[in-house]
Structure 1
Protein backbone atom coordinates (compact mmCIF):
# COMPACT_ATOMS: atom_id res chain seq x y z
CA UNK A 1 0.00 0.00 0.00
CA UNK A 2 2.81 2.42 0.89
CA UNK A 3 4.61 1.74 -2.38
CA UNK A 4 1.45 2.54 -4.34
CA UNK A 5 0.95 5.82 -2.49
CA UNK A 6 4.61 6.72 -2.89
CA UNK A 7 4.50 6.04 -6.63
CA UNK A 8 1.51 8.34 -6.90
CA UNK A 9 3.41 11.12 -5.12
CA UNK A 10 6.53 10.73 -7.29
CA UNK A 11 4.53 10.72 -10.52
CA UNK A 12 2.66 13.84 -9.51
CA UNK A 13 -0.76 12.22 -9.07
CA UNK A 14 -0.99 12.87 -5.34
CA UNK A 15 -2.25 16.20 -4.02
CA UNK A 16 -1.92 17.35 -0.42
CA UNK A 17 -5.12 18.21 1.37
CA UNK A 18 -5.27 21.82 2.62
CA UNK A 19 -5.07 20.74 6.24
CA UNK A 20 -2.01 18.59 5.50
CA UNK A 21 -0.33 21.44 3.68
CA UNK A 22 -0.78 23.72 6.67
CA UNK A 23 0.61 21.05 8.97
CA UNK A 24 3.65 20.57 6.75
CA UNK A 25 4.28 24.28 6.74
CA UNK A 26 4.31 24.27 10.54
CA UNK A 27 6.65 21.25 10.60
CA UNK A 28 8.98 22.93 8.16
CA UNK A 29 9.09 26.09 10.27
CA UNK A 30 9.65 23.82 13.28
CA UNK A 31 36.29 30.18 7.62
CA UNK A 32 38.69 32.24 7.23
CA UNK A 33 39.19 34.10 3.87
CA UNK A 34 41.68 36.30 2.11
CA UNK A 35 42.46 39.70 3.59
CA UNK A 36 40.46 42.52 2.00
CA UNK A 37 41.51 45.85 0.63
CA UNK A 38 39.83 49.07 1.75
CA UNK A 39 37.88 49.13 -1.49
CA UNK A 40 36.62 45.62 -0.88
CA UNK A 41 35.53 46.49 2.65
CA UNK A 42 33.70 49.58 1.41
CA UNK A 43 31.96 47.51 -1.25
CA UNK A 44 30.95 44.96 1.36
CA UNK A 45 29.39 47.63 3.59
CA UNK A 46 27.35 48.89 0.64
CA UNK A 47 26.33 45.32 -0.13
CA UNK A 48 25.04 44.83 3.40
CA UNK A 49 22.92 47.98 3.25
CA UNK A 50 21.68 47.48 -0.31
CA UNK A 51 20.85 43.82 0.23
CA UNK A 52 18.02 44.76 2.55
CA UNK A 53 16.64 47.13 -0.08
CA UNK A 54 16.94 44.63 -2.91
CA UNK A 55 15.57 41.68 -0.97
CA UNK A 56 13.60 42.83 2.11
CA UNK A 57 12.31 39.31 2.75
CA UNK A 58 15.56 37.47 2.15
CA UNK A 59 18.03 36.12 4.68
CA UNK A 60 20.46 38.77 5.90
CA UNK A 61 23.83 38.83 4.18
CA UNK A 62 26.62 37.26 6.20
CA UNK A 63 29.27 37.81 3.47
CA UNK A 64 30.17 34.14 3.57
CA UNK A 65 28.45 31.28 1.82
CA UNK A 66 29.73 28.76 4.34
CA UNK A 67 27.42 27.18 6.91
CA UNK A 68 29.66 25.46 9.50
CA UNK A 69 27.01 22.84 10.17
CA UNK A 70 26.95 21.89 6.49
CA UNK A 71 30.74 21.65 6.43
CA UNK A 72 30.74 19.25 9.38
CA UNK A 73 28.04 17.13 7.76
CA UNK A 74 29.93 16.73 4.50
CA UNK A 75 33.20 16.07 6.30
CA UNK A 76 31.63 12.88 7.64
CA UNK A 77 30.52 11.84 4.14
CA UNK A 78 33.71 12.72 2.25
CA UNK A 79 34.87 9.14 1.75
CA UNK A 80 31.55 8.13 0.16
CA UNK A 81 31.46 10.43 -2.87
CA UNK A 82 32.37 7.75 -5.42
CA UNK A 83 30.15 4.97 -4.08
CA UNK A 84 27.60 4.90 -6.89
CA UNK A 85 25.22 2.80 -4.81
CA UNK A 86 25.67 4.79 -1.60
CA UNK A 87 24.50 8.11 -0.18
CA UNK A 88 25.35 10.03 -3.37
CA UNK A 89 23.74 7.60 -5.82
CA UNK A 90 21.12 10.17 -6.84
CA UNK A 91 23.85 12.71 -7.68
CA UNK A 92 25.66 10.17 -9.85
CA UNK A 93 22.41 9.52 -11.70
CA UNK A 94 21.72 13.25 -12.06
CA UNK A 95 24.70 13.54 -14.42
CA UNK A 96 22.43 12.11 -17.12
CA UNK A 97 20.57 15.44 -17.05
CA UNK A 98 22.93 18.07 -15.69
CA UNK A 99 25.92 17.31 -17.95
CA UNK A 100 23.90 17.70 -21.19
CA UNK A 101 22.14 20.74 -19.68
CA UNK A 102 25.47 22.52 -19.19
CA UNK A 103 26.96 21.28 -22.46
CA UNK A 104 24.04 22.12 -24.74
CA UNK A 105 23.44 25.59 -23.32
CA UNK A 106 27.13 26.46 -23.63
CA UNK A 107 27.20 25.18 -27.20
CA UNK A 108 24.39 27.58 -28.05
CA UNK A 109 26.90 30.36 -27.33
CA UNK A 110 30.28 28.73 -28.00
CA UNK A 111 30.33 26.64 -31.16
CA UNK A 112 32.37 23.46 -30.88
CA UNK A 113 35.49 23.24 -33.01
CA UNK A 114 36.90 20.11 -31.40
CA UNK A 115 35.23 16.78 -32.34
CA UNK A 116 34.72 14.72 -29.20
CA UNK A 117 35.68 17.66 -26.97
CA UNK A 118 32.82 20.15 -27.43
CA UNK A 119 33.76 22.24 -24.38
CA UNK A 120 37.44 22.59 -25.26
CA UNK A 121 38.70 26.14 -24.78
CA UNK A 122 36.14 26.95 -22.07
CA UNK A 123 37.04 27.48 -18.43
CA UNK A 124 34.37 26.35 -15.96
CA UNK A 125 34.20 26.77 -12.18
CA UNK A 126 32.40 24.01 -10.26
CA UNK A 127 31.28 25.55 -6.94
CA UNK A 128 30.73 23.08 -4.11
CA UNK A 129 32.34 20.37 -6.22
CA UNK A 130 32.39 17.76 -3.46
CA UNK A 131 34.24 14.70 -4.70
CA UNK A 132 34.20 15.89 -8.33
CA UNK A 133 31.12 14.01 -9.53
CA UNK A 134 30.24 16.75 -12.02
CA UNK A 135 33.71 18.24 -12.43
CA UNK A 136 35.13 15.12 -14.06
CA UNK A 137 32.54 14.54 -16.82
CA UNK A 138 32.69 18.21 -17.83
CA UNK A 139 36.48 17.89 -17.94
CA UNK A 140 36.15 14.86 -20.23
CA UNK A 141 34.15 17.06 -22.61
CA UNK A 142 37.25 19.24 -22.93
CA UNK A 143 36.54 22.04 -20.44
CA UNK A 144 39.33 23.42 -18.27
CA UNK A 145 37.75 22.71 -14.88
CA UNK A 146 38.41 24.18 -11.45
CA UNK A 147 36.45 22.64 -8.60
CA UNK A 148 36.23 24.50 -5.27
CA UNK A 149 34.77 23.29 -2.00
CA UNK A 150 35.22 24.42 1.63
CA UNK A 151 35.44 20.79 2.80
CA UNK A 152 39.11 19.85 2.52
CA UNK A 153 38.35 16.15 2.93
CA UNK A 154 36.09 16.23 -0.15
CA UNK A 155 38.71 18.09 -2.18
CA UNK A 156 41.31 15.46 -1.24
CA UNK A 157 38.97 12.71 -2.46
CA UNK A 158 38.34 14.62 -5.70
CA UNK A 159 42.06 15.10 -6.35
CA UNK A 160 42.85 11.45 -5.71
CA UNK A 161 40.06 10.20 -7.95
CA UNK A 162 40.89 12.46 -10.91
CA UNK A 163 44.60 11.67 -10.63
CA UNK A 164 43.84 8.06 -11.53
CA UNK A 165 42.62 9.08 -14.99
CA UNK A 166 45.43 10.32 -17.29
CA UNK A 167 42.87 12.15 -19.47
CA UNK A 168 41.87 14.36 -16.54
CA UNK A 169 45.24 15.32 -15.09
CA UNK A 170 45.60 18.37 -17.32
CA UNK A 171 41.87 19.18 -17.45
CA UNK A 172 40.80 19.21 -13.81
CA UNK A 173 42.15 20.93 -10.72
CA UNK A 174 40.75 21.54 -7.25
CA UNK A 175 41.07 24.03 -4.42
CA UNK A 176 39.84 23.87 -0.85
CA UNK A 177 38.29 27.34 -0.67
CA UNK A 178 34.99 29.16 -0.99
CA UNK A 179 33.58 31.00 -3.98
CA UNK A 180 33.85 34.35 -2.23
CA UNK A 181 37.48 33.73 -1.29
CA UNK A 182 38.27 33.04 -4.94
CA UNK A 183 36.35 36.16 -5.95
CA UNK A 184 38.13 38.41 -3.45
CA UNK A 185 41.49 36.95 -4.42
CA UNK A 186 40.90 37.93 -8.04
CA UNK A 187 39.81 41.42 -6.97
CA UNK A 188 42.86 42.01 -4.79
CA UNK A 189 45.20 40.81 -7.53
CA UNK A 190 43.31 42.98 -10.05
CA UNK A 191 42.73 40.05 -12.37
CA UNK A 192 39.93 40.09 -14.93
CA UNK A 193 37.03 37.65 -14.64
CA UNK A 194 38.35 34.31 -15.79
CA UNK A 195 35.49 31.83 -16.20
CA UNK A 196 33.13 31.14 -19.08
CA UNK A 197 30.69 29.38 -16.76
CA UNK A 198 29.97 28.70 -13.10
CA UNK A 199 28.22 25.48 -12.11
CA UNK A 200 26.53 25.11 -8.72
CA UNK A 201 24.66 21.81 -8.72
CA UNK A 202 22.78 20.84 -5.54
CA UNK A 203 24.70 23.55 -3.70
CA UNK A 204 22.62 26.68 -3.09
CA UNK A 205 20.30 24.85 -0.66
CA UNK A 206 23.34 24.37 1.61
CA UNK A 207 24.68 27.94 1.56
CA UNK A 208 24.55 30.52 4.34
CA UNK A 209 24.23 33.60 2.11
CA UNK A 210 22.81 33.56 -1.41
CA UNK A 211 23.45 37.27 -1.98
CA UNK A 212 27.19 36.75 -1.57
CA UNK A 213 26.95 33.72 -3.86
CA UNK A 214 25.26 35.72 -6.65
CA UNK A 215 27.69 38.65 -6.44
CA UNK A 216 30.70 36.34 -6.41
CA UNK A 217 29.41 34.47 -9.46
CA UNK A 218 29.10 37.79 -11.28
CA UNK A 219 32.63 38.72 -10.28
CA UNK A 220 34.39 35.59 -11.52
CA UNK A 221 32.47 35.30 -14.81
CA UNK A 222 33.48 36.82 -18.10
CA UNK A 223 30.90 39.14 -19.73
CA UNK A 224 28.26 36.89 -21.25
CA UNK A 225 29.33 34.00 -19.01
CA UNK A 226 26.81 31.45 -17.80
CA UNK A 227 25.75 30.24 -14.38
CA UNK A 228 24.08 26.83 -14.06
CA UNK A 229 22.17 25.89 -10.91
CA UNK A 230 20.24 22.79 -9.91
CA UNK A 231 18.43 22.90 -6.60
CA UNK A 232 15.18 22.16 -4.74
CA UNK A 233 12.04 24.27 -4.76
CA UNK A 234 10.51 25.40 -1.48
CA UNK A 235 7.10 23.73 -1.56
CA UNK A 236 5.10 21.38 0.64
CA UNK A 237 5.71 18.62 -1.90
CA UNK A 238 9.48 19.13 -1.79
CA UNK A 239 9.33 18.83 1.99
CA UNK A 240 7.44 15.53 1.76
CA UNK A 241 9.64 14.00 -0.94
CA UNK A 242 12.97 15.67 -0.26
CA UNK A 243 13.02 15.25 3.50
CA UNK A 244 10.29 12.94 4.85
CA UNK A 245 10.49 10.32 2.10
CA UNK A 246 14.08 10.67 0.79
CA UNK A 247 15.79 11.10 4.17
CA UNK A 248 13.51 9.54 6.79
CA UNK A 249 11.67 6.73 5.00
CA UNK A 250 13.73 5.53 2.02
CA UNK A 251 17.06 6.95 3.20
CA UNK A 252 18.06 7.83 -0.36
CA UNK A 253 20.19 10.58 1.18
CA UNK A 254 21.50 10.77 4.76
CA UNK A 255 19.13 12.12 7.39
CA UNK A 256 19.71 15.83 8.00
CA UNK A 257 21.15 16.51 4.54
CA UNK A 258 18.56 19.18 3.77
CA UNK A 259 16.98 22.06 5.64
CA UNK A 260 13.62 23.02 4.12
CA UNK A 261 14.08 26.63 5.25
CA UNK A 262 17.07 26.89 2.88
CA UNK A 263 15.17 25.70 -0.18
CA UNK A 264 14.45 28.45 -2.71
CA UNK A 265 11.75 28.83 -5.33
CA UNK A 266 12.63 29.46 -8.99
CA UNK A 267 10.94 32.86 -8.75
CA UNK A 268 13.01 33.93 -5.74
CA UNK A 269 16.22 32.64 -7.28
CA UNK A 270 15.46 34.43 -10.54
CA UNK A 271 14.85 37.73 -8.68
CA UNK A 272 18.13 37.30 -6.82
CA UNK A 273 20.12 36.67 -10.01
CA UNK A 274 18.38 39.39 -12.03
CA UNK A 275 19.17 41.98 -9.35
CA UNK A 276 22.82 40.94 -9.36
CA UNK A 277 23.62 41.35 -13.03
CA UNK A 278 22.18 38.20 -14.65
CA UNK A 279 19.48 37.41 -17.16
CA UNK A 280 17.73 34.07 -16.59
CA UNK A 281 17.49 32.10 -19.83
CA UNK A 282 15.65 28.93 -18.81
CA UNK A 283 14.17 27.04 -15.87
CA UNK A 284 13.35 23.35 -16.23
CA UNK A 285 11.77 20.93 -13.76
CA UNK A 286 13.54 17.70 -12.81
CA UNK A 287 12.06 14.49 -11.38
CA UNK A 288 13.81 11.62 -9.59
CA UNK A 289 12.32 8.13 -9.64
CA UNK A 290 13.64 6.22 -6.59
CA UNK A 291 12.42 2.93 -8.01
CA UNK A 292 14.47 3.12 -11.22
CA UNK A 293 17.10 5.46 -9.80
CA UNK A 294 16.78 7.67 -12.86
CA UNK A 295 16.14 11.38 -13.43
CA UNK A 296 13.92 12.88 -16.11
CA UNK A 297 12.89 16.35 -17.26
CA UNK A 298 9.40 17.51 -16.36
CA UNK A 299 7.28 20.62 -16.84
CA UNK A 300 6.77 20.90 -13.08
CA UNK A 301 9.32 22.73 -10.95
CA UNK A 302 7.54 21.83 -7.70
CA UNK A 303 10.41 19.62 -6.49
CA UNK A 304 13.78 19.86 -8.29
CA UNK A 305 14.71 22.26 -11.07
CA UNK A 306 17.62 23.42 -13.21
CA UNK A 307 18.29 27.08 -14.07
CA UNK A 308 20.56 28.74 -16.62
CA UNK A 309 21.39 32.44 -16.43
CA UNK A 310 23.81 34.69 -18.32
CA UNK A 311 25.83 37.63 -17.04
CA UNK A 312 24.36 40.70 -18.70
CA UNK A 313 26.51 42.85 -20.95
CA UNK A 314 25.64 45.91 -18.84
CA UNK A 315 26.95 44.16 -15.72
CA UNK A 316 30.18 45.82 -14.43
CA UNK A 317 33.15 43.89 -15.77
CA UNK A 318 34.99 43.93 -12.47
CA UNK A 319 32.08 42.11 -10.80
CA UNK A 320 31.09 45.05 -8.60
CA UNK A 321 27.48 46.16 -8.47
CA UNK A 322 28.58 49.61 -7.39
CA UNK A 323 30.20 51.75 -10.13
CA UNK A 324 31.60 54.17 -7.56
CA UNK A 325 33.90 51.41 -6.29
CA UNK A 326 35.92 51.59 -9.49
CA UNK A 327 36.27 55.36 -9.08
CA UNK A 328 37.43 54.89 -5.47
CA UNK A 329 39.95 52.29 -6.56
CA UNK A 330 41.29 54.68 -9.21
CA UNK A 331 41.50 57.64 -6.84
CA UNK A 332 42.82 55.60 -3.92
Structure 2
Protein backbone atom coordinates (compact mmCIF):
# COMPACT_ATOMS: atom_id res chain seq x y z
CA UNK A 1 0.00 0.00 0.00
CA UNK A 2 1.51 3.34 -1.04
CA UNK A 3 2.16 6.27 1.26
CA UNK A 4 -0.39 8.37 -0.66
CA UNK A 5 -3.06 5.71 -0.16
CA UNK A 6 -2.32 5.50 3.57
CA UNK A 7 -2.52 9.28 3.81
CA UNK A 8 -5.91 9.32 2.09
CA UNK A 9 -7.25 6.61 4.40
CA UNK A 10 -5.93 8.47 7.46
CA UNK A 11 -7.54 11.70 6.19
CA UNK A 12 -10.87 9.95 5.64
CA UNK A 13 -10.82 8.33 9.09
CA UNK A 14 -10.06 11.65 10.77
CA UNK A 15 -12.91 13.38 8.93
CA UNK A 16 -15.39 10.60 9.69
CA UNK A 17 -14.36 10.71 13.34
CA UNK A 18 -14.82 14.47 13.45
CA UNK A 19 -18.26 14.21 11.84
CA UNK A 20 -19.34 11.58 14.36
CA UNK A 21 -18.12 13.78 17.20
CA UNK A 22 -19.98 16.79 15.80
CA UNK A 23 -23.22 14.81 15.42
CA UNK A 24 -22.83 13.39 18.91
CA UNK A 25 -22.23 16.88 20.27
CA UNK A 26 -25.32 18.19 18.47
CA UNK A 27 -27.44 15.42 19.97
CA UNK A 28 -26.11 16.19 23.44
CA UNK A 29 -26.81 19.88 22.94
CA UNK A 30 -30.38 19.21 21.88
CA UNK A 31 -30.92 16.90 24.83
CA UNK A 32 -29.38 19.30 27.35
CA UNK A 33 -31.40 22.14 25.83
CA UNK A 34 -34.57 20.43 26.94
CA UNK A 35 -33.31 19.03 30.24
CA UNK A 36 -35.78 19.62 33.06
CA UNK A 37 -34.61 22.09 35.68
CA UNK A 38 -37.73 22.91 37.65
CA UNK A 39 -40.30 20.31 36.56
CA UNK A 40 -42.52 23.10 35.32
CA UNK A 41 -43.01 24.92 32.06
CA UNK A 42 -43.76 28.22 33.80
CA UNK A 43 -41.21 31.02 33.77
CA UNK A 44 -42.75 33.36 36.34
CA UNK A 45 -40.79 36.39 35.16
CA UNK A 46 -42.01 35.83 31.62
CA UNK A 47 -45.60 35.39 32.78
CA UNK A 48 -45.44 38.61 34.80
CA UNK A 49 -43.88 40.47 31.88
CA UNK A 50 -46.75 39.51 29.57
CA UNK A 51 -49.41 40.12 32.21
CA UNK A 52 -48.37 43.77 32.39
CA UNK A 53 -49.58 44.24 28.81
CA UNK A 54 -53.13 43.07 29.56
CA UNK A 55 -54.71 46.46 28.74
CA UNK A 56 -52.99 46.59 25.34
CA UNK A 57 -53.84 43.03 24.35
CA UNK A 58 -56.86 43.83 22.21
CA UNK A 59 -55.56 47.04 20.65
CA UNK A 60 -54.69 46.12 17.03
CA UNK A 61 -52.69 49.34 16.72
CA UNK A 62 -50.90 48.95 20.03
CA UNK A 63 -47.74 47.21 21.22
CA UNK A 64 -49.21 43.78 20.52
CA UNK A 65 -50.78 44.65 17.18
CA UNK A 66 -48.40 42.28 15.43
CA UNK A 67 -50.25 39.35 17.03
CA UNK A 68 -53.53 40.51 15.51
CA UNK A 69 -52.17 40.64 11.96
CA UNK A 70 -50.39 37.33 12.59
CA UNK A 71 -53.79 35.63 12.45
CA UNK A 72 -53.64 36.06 8.67
CA UNK A 73 -51.17 33.17 8.67
CA UNK A 74 -51.99 31.30 11.86
CA UNK A 75 -55.68 30.71 11.24
CA UNK A 76 -55.27 29.30 7.69
CA UNK A 77 -52.37 27.16 8.93
CA UNK A 78 -54.59 25.45 11.50
CA UNK A 79 -57.65 25.34 9.25
CA UNK A 80 -55.85 23.76 6.31
CA UNK A 81 -54.02 21.32 8.56
CA UNK A 82 -57.28 20.00 10.02
CA UNK A 83 -59.57 19.95 6.98
CA UNK A 84 -59.48 16.74 4.97
CA UNK A 85 -62.64 17.45 2.99
CA UNK A 86 -62.22 20.31 0.44
CA UNK A 87 -65.92 21.17 0.45
CA UNK A 88 -65.67 22.26 4.09
CA UNK A 89 -63.31 25.07 3.13
CA UNK A 90 -66.23 26.84 1.45
CA UNK A 91 -68.31 26.97 4.62
CA UNK A 92 -68.28 29.73 7.24
CA UNK A 93 -67.36 27.24 9.95
CA UNK A 94 -64.84 24.81 8.42
CA UNK A 95 -63.55 23.83 11.87
CA UNK A 96 -66.99 22.88 13.24
CA UNK A 97 -66.71 20.14 15.89
CA UNK A 98 -62.91 20.24 15.84
CA UNK A 99 -61.56 20.38 19.39
CA UNK A 100 -58.59 22.75 19.63
CA UNK A 101 -56.30 23.55 22.56
CA UNK A 102 -54.61 26.96 22.38
CA UNK A 103 -51.60 26.71 24.70
CA UNK A 104 -50.37 30.02 26.08
CA UNK A 105 -53.51 31.67 24.75
CA UNK A 106 -52.83 35.00 26.44
CA UNK A 107 -55.77 37.35 25.97
CA UNK A 108 -57.38 35.10 23.36
CA UNK A 109 -56.46 36.72 20.04
CA UNK A 110 -55.98 33.39 18.27
CA UNK A 111 -58.55 31.48 20.34
CA UNK A 112 -61.38 33.78 19.27
CA UNK A 113 -60.31 33.71 15.63
CA UNK A 114 -60.42 29.90 15.60
CA UNK A 115 -63.79 29.90 17.40
CA UNK A 116 -65.22 32.23 14.75
CA UNK A 117 -64.70 29.54 12.10
CA UNK A 118 -66.29 26.83 14.19
CA UNK A 119 -63.46 25.47 16.32
CA UNK A 120 -64.37 24.19 19.78
CA UNK A 121 -61.54 26.02 21.50
CA UNK A 122 -60.00 25.64 24.93
CA UNK A 123 -57.41 28.22 25.93
CA UNK A 124 -54.92 27.73 28.77
CA UNK A 125 -52.44 30.24 30.13
CA UNK A 126 -50.44 30.60 33.33
CA UNK A 127 -51.43 34.26 33.70
CA UNK A 128 -54.60 34.90 35.70
CA UNK A 129 -54.73 38.46 34.38
CA UNK A 130 -54.62 37.40 30.73
CA UNK A 131 -57.20 34.65 31.23
CA UNK A 132 -59.56 37.22 32.74
CA UNK A 133 -58.80 39.52 29.80
CA UNK A 134 -59.66 36.71 27.38
CA UNK A 135 -62.91 35.88 29.16
CA UNK A 136 -64.06 39.49 29.24
CA UNK A 137 -63.33 40.06 25.57
CA UNK A 138 -65.09 36.87 24.46
CA UNK A 139 -68.25 38.20 26.13
CA UNK A 140 -68.08 41.22 23.80
CA UNK A 141 -67.69 39.29 20.54
CA UNK A 142 -71.14 38.59 19.10
CA UNK A 143 -69.69 36.33 16.40
CA UNK A 144 -68.79 33.72 19.00
CA UNK A 145 -71.75 34.24 21.32
CA UNK A 146 -72.78 30.61 20.85
CA UNK A 147 -69.26 29.19 20.60
CA UNK A 148 -67.11 30.96 23.16
CA UNK A 149 -63.68 29.53 23.92
CA UNK A 150 -63.35 27.93 27.35
CA UNK A 151 -60.48 29.58 29.21
CA UNK A 152 -58.50 28.16 32.12
CA UNK A 153 -55.61 29.51 34.15
CA UNK A 154 -53.42 26.44 34.17
CA UNK A 155 -50.11 25.01 33.04
CA UNK A 156 -49.97 22.72 30.02
CA UNK A 157 -48.49 19.90 32.11
CA UNK A 158 -51.39 20.07 34.58
CA UNK A 159 -53.93 20.26 31.75
CA UNK A 160 -52.32 17.24 30.09
CA UNK A 161 -52.74 15.17 33.24
CA UNK A 162 -56.47 15.93 33.33
CA UNK A 163 -57.15 15.79 29.58
CA UNK A 164 -54.92 13.23 27.84
CA UNK A 165 -55.67 12.25 24.21
CA UNK A 166 -58.53 14.76 24.02
CA UNK A 167 -57.94 17.30 21.24
CA UNK A 168 -57.97 17.21 17.46
CA UNK A 169 -55.38 19.99 17.47
CA UNK A 170 -52.96 21.63 19.85
CA UNK A 171 -51.73 25.09 18.89
CA UNK A 172 -48.53 26.45 20.47
CA UNK A 173 -48.16 29.83 18.80
CA UNK A 174 -45.46 32.16 20.12
CA UNK A 175 -45.19 30.33 23.43
CA UNK A 176 -42.45 27.67 23.26
CA UNK A 177 -39.82 30.43 23.39
CA UNK A 178 -41.22 31.60 26.73
CA UNK A 179 -41.36 28.34 28.70
CA UNK A 180 -38.96 27.15 31.39
CA UNK A 181 -38.71 23.55 30.17
CA UNK A 182 -38.98 22.96 26.43
CA UNK A 183 -39.03 19.17 26.56
CA UNK A 184 -41.72 19.02 29.24
CA UNK A 185 -43.74 21.54 27.26
CA UNK A 186 -43.66 19.52 24.03
CA UNK A 187 -44.36 16.26 25.85
CA UNK A 188 -47.40 17.75 27.59
CA UNK A 189 -48.73 19.29 24.37
CA UNK A 190 -48.50 15.97 22.54
CA UNK A 191 -50.11 14.17 25.47
CA UNK A 192 -53.23 16.32 25.03
CA UNK A 193 -53.56 15.27 21.37
CA UNK A 194 -55.68 12.41 20.12
CA UNK A 195 -53.75 9.88 18.03
CA UNK A 196 -54.04 11.30 14.52
CA UNK A 197 -54.39 14.83 15.89
CA UNK A 198 -52.09 17.64 14.83
CA UNK A 199 -49.87 20.05 16.68
CA UNK A 200 -49.02 23.47 15.25
CA UNK A 201 -46.01 25.45 16.48
CA UNK A 202 -44.95 28.97 15.50
CA UNK A 203 -41.86 30.55 17.02
CA UNK A 204 -38.78 32.65 16.24
CA UNK A 205 -35.71 30.70 15.15
CA UNK A 206 -32.56 30.91 17.25
CA UNK A 207 -30.40 32.55 14.61
CA UNK A 208 -28.32 35.65 14.01
CA UNK A 209 -31.18 37.00 11.89
CA UNK A 210 -33.54 36.81 14.84
CA UNK A 211 -31.00 38.21 17.25
CA UNK A 212 -30.51 41.30 15.09
CA UNK A 213 -33.86 41.82 13.35
CA UNK A 214 -36.32 39.94 15.55
CA UNK A 215 -35.03 41.16 18.89
CA UNK A 216 -32.74 44.19 18.64
CA UNK A 217 -34.48 46.00 15.77
CA UNK A 218 -38.06 44.85 16.48
CA UNK A 219 -37.96 45.47 20.23
CA UNK A 220 -35.35 48.16 20.87
CA UNK A 221 -35.27 50.20 17.65
CA UNK A 222 -38.73 50.07 16.07
CA UNK A 223 -40.74 49.15 19.17
CA UNK A 224 -42.85 46.64 17.22
CA UNK A 225 -43.18 44.53 20.37
CA UNK A 226 -42.41 45.44 24.00
CA UNK A 227 -38.75 45.44 25.03
CA UNK A 228 -37.66 42.22 26.71
CA UNK A 229 -40.34 40.10 25.04
CA UNK A 230 -37.78 37.58 23.80
CA UNK A 231 -34.61 36.21 25.36
CA UNK A 232 -32.28 34.86 22.72
CA UNK A 233 -31.01 31.94 24.81
CA UNK A 234 -34.57 30.60 25.19
CA UNK A 235 -35.26 30.41 21.46
CA UNK A 236 -35.28 27.09 19.61
CA UNK A 237 -34.53 25.93 16.07
CA UNK A 238 -36.58 23.86 13.59
CA UNK A 239 -34.24 20.91 14.15
CA UNK A 240 -34.67 21.03 17.91
CA UNK A 241 -38.46 21.25 17.78
CA UNK A 242 -38.60 18.46 15.18
CA UNK A 243 -36.38 16.31 17.38
CA UNK A 244 -38.64 16.77 20.41
CA UNK A 245 -41.83 16.13 18.44
CA UNK A 246 -40.51 12.97 16.83
CA UNK A 247 -39.23 11.72 20.17
CA UNK A 248 -42.80 12.13 21.45
CA UNK A 249 -44.44 9.95 18.80
CA UNK A 250 -45.13 12.63 16.19
CA UNK A 251 -44.27 12.91 12.51
CA UNK A 252 -43.42 16.38 11.21
CA UNK A 253 -45.50 17.10 8.10
CA UNK A 254 -44.37 20.59 7.16
CA UNK A 255 -42.09 23.46 8.11
CA UNK A 256 -42.64 26.95 6.71
CA UNK A 257 -40.68 30.17 7.09
CA UNK A 258 -42.53 33.38 7.99
CA UNK A 259 -41.81 37.07 7.58
CA UNK A 260 -43.45 40.23 8.92
CA UNK A 261 -43.40 43.56 7.06
CA UNK A 262 -43.79 46.32 9.67
CA UNK A 263 -44.50 48.96 7.04
CA UNK A 264 -47.54 47.18 5.60
CA UNK A 265 -48.43 45.26 8.79
CA UNK A 266 -48.58 42.10 6.68
CA UNK A 267 -47.31 38.59 7.29
CA UNK A 268 -46.23 36.25 4.51
CA UNK A 269 -44.91 32.74 4.00
CA UNK A 270 -41.28 32.59 2.86
CA UNK A 271 -38.88 29.80 2.00
CA UNK A 272 -36.32 30.73 4.65
CA UNK A 273 -36.83 29.73 8.29
CA UNK A 274 -33.92 31.87 9.50
CA UNK A 275 -36.17 34.41 11.21
CA UNK A 276 -39.40 32.62 12.13
CA UNK A 277 -40.94 29.26 11.38
CA UNK A 278 -44.20 27.36 11.60
CA UNK A 279 -44.32 23.61 12.04
CA UNK A 280 -47.12 21.05 11.72
CA UNK A 281 -46.87 17.49 13.01
CA UNK A 282 -49.26 14.57 13.41
CA UNK A 283 -49.44 12.33 16.47
CA UNK A 284 -48.92 8.77 15.34
CA UNK A 285 -51.23 5.92 16.22
CA UNK A 286 -49.77 3.79 19.06
CA UNK A 287 -49.08 0.81 16.79
CA UNK A 288 -47.12 3.01 14.37
CA UNK A 289 -44.68 4.28 16.97
Q: TM-score with structure 1 length normalisation?
A: 0.75
1:234 aligns with 2:206: yes
Give the SS at the match of 2:71: helix
Kept in 2: contact 1:114–1:120 (CA 8 A): no
Partner of 2:171: 199
Partner of 1:118: 94
1:182 aligns with 2:159: yes
| Structure 1: gaps of 5 or more residues | 1-51, 187-191, 322-332
Q: 1:255 to 1:78 in 2, by over 3 A?
A: same
Q: TM-score with structure 2 length normalisation?
A: 0.85
Give the SS at the match of 1:57: helix
1:74 aligns with 2:46: no
Deviation readout 1:267-308 (Å, 9 max, x if unpaired): 111011101111100000000111111111100000011100
The offset of 1:64, in angstroms, is: 1.1
Kept in 1: contact 2:199–2:281 (CA 8 A): yes
1:178-327 equivalences under 5 Å are 178-186=155-163, 193-314=165-286
Kept in 2: contact 1:138–1:145 (CA 8 A): yes
Deviation readout 1:160-188 (Å, 9 max, x if unpaired): 111112342442110111111111223xx
Give the SS at the match of 1:56: helix
Kept in 1: contact 2:83–2:89 (CA 8 A): no
Distance 1:200 1:132 in 2: 13
Kept in 1: contact 2:30–2:240 (CA 8 A): no
Distance 1:55 1:249 in 2: 32
Deviation readout 1:131-165 (Å, 9 max, x if unpaired): 11000010011010011101011111110111112
Kept in 2: contact 1:277–1:315 (CA 8 A): no
Structure richer in helix, relative to its length: 2
Kept in 1: contact 2:102–2:123 (CA 8 A): yes
The offset of 1:245, in angstroms, is: 0.1
Distance 1:108 1:94 in 2: 24
Superposed CA RMSD in Å reads 2.1
Distance 1:73 1:54 in 2: 28
Distance 2:75 2:206 in 1: 24
Q: Which has the larger radius of gyration?
A: 2
Q: 1:79 to 1:281 in 2, by over 3 A?
A: same
Q: 1:250 to 1:53 in 2, by over 3 A?
A: closer
The offset of 1:54, in angstroms, is: 10
Q: Which residue of 77, 82, 97 maps to 1:101?
A: 77
Give structure 1 regions of 4+ aligned residues with deviation exceeding 6 angstroms. none
Partner of 2:15: none
Length, aligned pairs only: 261
Q: Which residue of 132, 139, 142 maps to 2:115?
A: 139
Distance 1:230 1:210 in 2: 14
Distance 1:167 1:175 in 2: 21
Distance 2:44 2:222 in 1: 27
Q: 1:207 to 1:213 in 2, by over 3 A?
A: same
